[in-house]
Structure 1
Amino acid sequence: MTTERYGQERRDADGQPPDARFRSGVAAGAFDLPLPGAGNTAERFAALARLGEADPVLARLAEGHADALAILAELDGPPAGDGRWGVWAAVPRSLTARRDGAIWLIDGDRPWCSGAGVCTRALVTAAAPDGIRLFAVDNPGTALEGTWPAVGMAASDSRTVRFTGVPAVPVGGPGDYTARPGFWHGGIGVAACWYGGAVGVARPLLAAARAQREKHRAATGGDRPEAAGVAPPDPHLLAHLGAVDARLAAAGALLRAAAATVDADPKADLRRLTGQVRATVEATATEVLDRVGRALGAGPLCRDGRHARRVADLTVYLRQSHAEADLAGLGEQVAAEEDPRW
C-alpha cells in the first residue's frame, strides 16, 4: 500500500507523491548523507534543510532513512543493504522482545511509524528482559488502517504498525540507542528539517514583497517613490519579512555552529546543545508560520494548495518536539552547570 491513500491530492511539481519520491531517492542513494561527526556534518544538516524546504513529508521520510544508516554505522549493526529504512522508536515499551532459541521475536503495536506503507526495513525499540533494546527488522509488521487520519503530514503515513512474532536482529546492547552520542546528532538533524520547512513557508512572503517592490518601481520609474497615486510596498508586510529574515538567520547560524561542534568532538555529550537548537528552531518555525499568515492573510492558505499543505505539514512536524517538557529538561541542565556560558 502506498501513502497516496493518506493524501490523495498530494502531487509535487514533478507530479510524484512524496512516497514515490522517497522510493526513487533511496534507490538513487540521494539520502545516503555524510555521517554525523565525520567532518561534514554541516552538509548533512544542509541537505536535510533542503529536503524540508522542498517538502516536509519527504524530509520526514528521508531523515528517518538517513538516521537509520547513521545508527547502524555507530552501533555496528547489520548491513543497511538497499532497503528503505525507518526509525520507529516512539513509546519504547509498546513493543516487547523475546528470545526463541537463537533468534529474537518482536510483538506489540508501535504508534507513529512514519512511512508505514513504504519502508521495507526499520529500527525499532522494544522492552527485552535485560532492558530497552534496539532491533533491526526486515519486512516490518502490519500497518493498521485508520490509525493516521491526519491532515498535516497526511502523506507521511505515520500509522501504528502491529508486530506479531517478527524476527529481529539486535543492534547494540541494552540502552545503547539513547546512550550513544549520535542520539543527540539525530535530534539536531530533525531540527534541520524543521528549519527547511520554515524556509519553505517563508518563500511566499518573500515573493509577495518582491512583487510589490517591482510593481512600485515599474509604476514610478524606479526613482520617484513620491509619485502621486502609487502605493509603496506594504510596510507591515516588509516588517514581517524583516522579522522572518532575522529569525531564520539566527536559527541557521546555530545549526551551522552545532554542526561544527559535532565534528570537533563527535563523542561529546550534546544534550544541552541539542535542546538549544531544537528549541530555537521550533520557536523560529512557529513564528514564521504566524508571521507569514498574518502578512499574507487567508489567500495562500485557501488558494495555494502546496503552501497550505506545507503549513499543515510543518505544524504537525513541529509537534515532534515535546514543547515545555523539553524546555524544562533544558532548564534543568542549565541549572546544574556552574557556568552556563551564555
Structure 2
Amino acid sequence: MKPESIGLGLPAQTLGEHLRTRGMTRRSLLQYAACTASLMGLSPREAAAMAQGLEKATRQSVIWLSFQECTGCTESLTRSFSPSLEDLIFDFISLDYHHTLQAVSGEAAEAARHAAMKTHAGKYIVVVDGSVPLGEGGIYSVIAGMTNAAMLAETVEHAAAVIAVGTCAAYGGLPEARPNPTGAVPIAQLVKGKPVVNIPGCPPMPQAMAGTLTHFLSFGKLPELDALGRPKAFFGETIHDRCYRRPYYNRGQFAKGFDDEGARRGWCLYELGCKGPVTYNACASLKWNGGTSFPIQSGHGCIGCSEPRFWDRGGIYQPLPAPTKKRGRVIGIAAAGGTVLGAGAAVIARQRAGQTGSTEPTQE
C-alpha cells in the first residue's frame, strides 16, 4: 500500500451522496442540521443553509494531535451522540490521524499524517488536545522522534484552521499550573497565521467539538468566537445563567455541606465553592452523556474548568464572595470579576502571541 493511501479514503462524491449510500435520507440530514443549528443559536434559515452546505461538501480531513493530555478529550468525543462518534468519523469527517483511535501505528501512522497533509493542503483541520512543553527543548513529550512543538509546527503549516480542544490545549491547563515544571504553553501561543478555536473544558463538551466541526464543514468558516477564542454558541452564558438550582440561590437557600438537609433538597451549592457564576459553558443546558446530567445535578459544584488558570485560582471548595440580600448584585460582581479575568487572560495571550510572532485567534 502506498503511503499516500494510508488512513485516507475520502470519497470523490459529495457528503450528501455519501450519506445516501449509507442509508441517511435528506430528511434525516435536515433534522440533524436543524438540531445542530439550534444548539448553536442559528436561525431556521441558517439551519437550511447548513443542511445545503453539508450536502454539497466533501468529508472533512481532520488530523488530531495529542500532546500533554490525559485522553479525557477523546473520551468526551466518544460520548458524542448527535452525531455519534461512528457517524462523525465515518460520515462527516475523515479522521486521518489520531493516536488513540487509529488502527495503524509507528511509521504507518506518520505516513498517514503526511499523506493527509499533502493531499488536502490548505483544507484540512488540525485538532489538538493537550498543552505543548517548551522546557528543556521540549523533551518532556516526544512523538515519533519529534517534540510536540515541532510536530505542531509541521502539521499546522498548511492547515485551514486549528481547534484546541480541552483546557490544556486552550489555556495550558493542569500542565501549566504553578510551578509549570515542563514549561507548558497553550496552542494559540505557538500557532502562527492560522485561525484558532478554543474549546476548553476538562473535558470539553462533545457537542461543542462536533458543532464546531459541522459549522466549518457547512459554511466553510469558523463560528463566531468570544474574546478568548471560544464559540459563543457554547460559551456565551455562564453555568449559573442556566442552572436549575438558580431559584434556590435567589431565595437564599444554600447547602452548607454535601450531605446536609439542604444538599438533599437540591439547594444551591454556591457556599460550597461552586464556580458557576464565573464559568462560561453549556453544561447546564446540554448536559453530559446524552443529556443525562452535569456535575451540579450530580451534587457537586462547578469547578470552573473551562476558564483560564482554574487550577491556580484558589481551592475548588473555596466559595466566591459571600451572597447578600442583594443577590443580583453579588452575581453581577462575580460575573464582572470573571469577565475581567477573562479579558486579562486574552490580553496576556495576545502579548504572548506577539512575543512568539503568532497571531491571536481569528474567525471569518
TM-score by length of 1: 0.27
Which protein shows a greater Rg?
1
Higher helix share: 1
- Higher normalized contact order (CA 8 Å, seq sep 6+, divided by chain length): 1
Give the structure-2-normalised TM-score.
0.26
